[in-house]
């Protein structure tokens, strides 16, 4: 099997972002975004997805975090799309993850078609100074550039930190499942169309 790794750089007038991924890693994260809570969430993806992720992001945080978060989702999605040969993968992944009172479900399809269903009834507007609305921007950017269909549902929770952390942990688990090579069809594109 070829190495499933990629590095992508995205430079705009608002952000300069470099992302490297190893989809067959050990769950190591090296990140410098200037947004500690986002770094904490990326650590969940790396750890629970067994994906090595390196992120260097410089953005216009003096304005707000919107451009950095959105562009990071875009760049991470591009890196996943570049690293992943869809031949032989399981294609679909799903996970339920609890954290105390919170429970979330994430389902992903490496379909080649971007689509996001996102349902998180946050109980607060910010966690640690981080605007929770920006998580939608992150996932929309990822979906559009990884070319995946992604369903995210927070099924219950009263603590916003717990709500979003269960989402990112479930996201990591769902990614891991969907990207896994199926030994029974390692040379086959998992689609009746013959392409994804």
* The domain over range 5-185 is classified in CATH as 3.40.190.10: no
pLDDT class for 101, splitting at 50, 70, 90? very high
Nearest CA-CA partner of 140 in 61, 51, 70: 70
Whether 169 contacts 98, CB under 8 Å: no
pLDDT tens digits for range 49-64: 999 999 999 999 999 9
How many residues are listed for the chain in this entry? 196
pLDDT class for 185, splitting at 50, 70, 90? confident
Task: For residue 112, give both structure tokens.
Answer: 């080649």
What pLDDT is attached to residue 1?
A: 59
Average pLDDT over residues 13-42: 97
Whether 6 contacts 77, CB under 8 Å: no
Q: Which long-range contacts (CB under 8 A, 24 or more apart) does 137-141 make?
A: 137/66, 137/69, 137/70, 137/73, 138/38, 138/69, 138/70, 138/72, 138/73, 139/73, 140/70, 140/73, 140/116, 141/70, 141/71, 141/72, 141/73, 141/74, 141/76, 141/77
pLDDT tens digits for range 150-175: 999 999 999 999 999 999 999 999 99
What pLDDT is attached to residue 52?
A: 98
What pLDDT is attached to residue 196?
A: 79
What pLDDT is attached to residue 154?
A: 98
Model-level pTM?
Answer: 0.96
Instruction: Name, in order, each residue with C-beta under 8 angstroms of 28's C-beta and a sequence gap of 6 or more.
Output: 46, 52, 53
Tell whether the model's pLDDT for residue 186 goes beyond 80: no
Higher pLDDT, 6 or 193: 6
């Amino acid at each position: 099997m070829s190495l499933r790794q990629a590095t992508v750089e995205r430079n705009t007038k608002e952000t300069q972002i470099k992302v490297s991924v190893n989809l067959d890693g050990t769950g190591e994260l090296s990140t410098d975004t200037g947004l500690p809570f986002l770094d904490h969430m990326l650590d969940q993806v790396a750890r629970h997805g067994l994906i090595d992720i390196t992120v260097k992001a410089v953005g216009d945080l003096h304005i707000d975090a919107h451009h950095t978060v959105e562009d990071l989702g875009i760049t991470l999605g591009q890196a996943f799309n570049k690293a992943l040969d869809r031949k032989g993968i399981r294609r679909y992944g799903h996970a339920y993850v609890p954290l105390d009172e919170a429970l979330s479900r994430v389902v992903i399809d490496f379909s080649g078609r971007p689509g996001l269903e996102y349902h998180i009834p946050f109980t607060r507007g910010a966690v640690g100074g981080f605007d929770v609305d920006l998580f939608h921007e992150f996932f929309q950017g990822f979906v559009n550039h990884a070319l995946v269909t992604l369903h995210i549902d927070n099924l219950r929770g009263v603590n916003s930190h717990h709500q979003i952390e269960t989402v990112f942990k479930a996201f990591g688990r769902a990614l891991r499942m969907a990207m896994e090579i199926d030994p029974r069809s390692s040379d086959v594109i998992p689609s009746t169309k013959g392409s994804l």
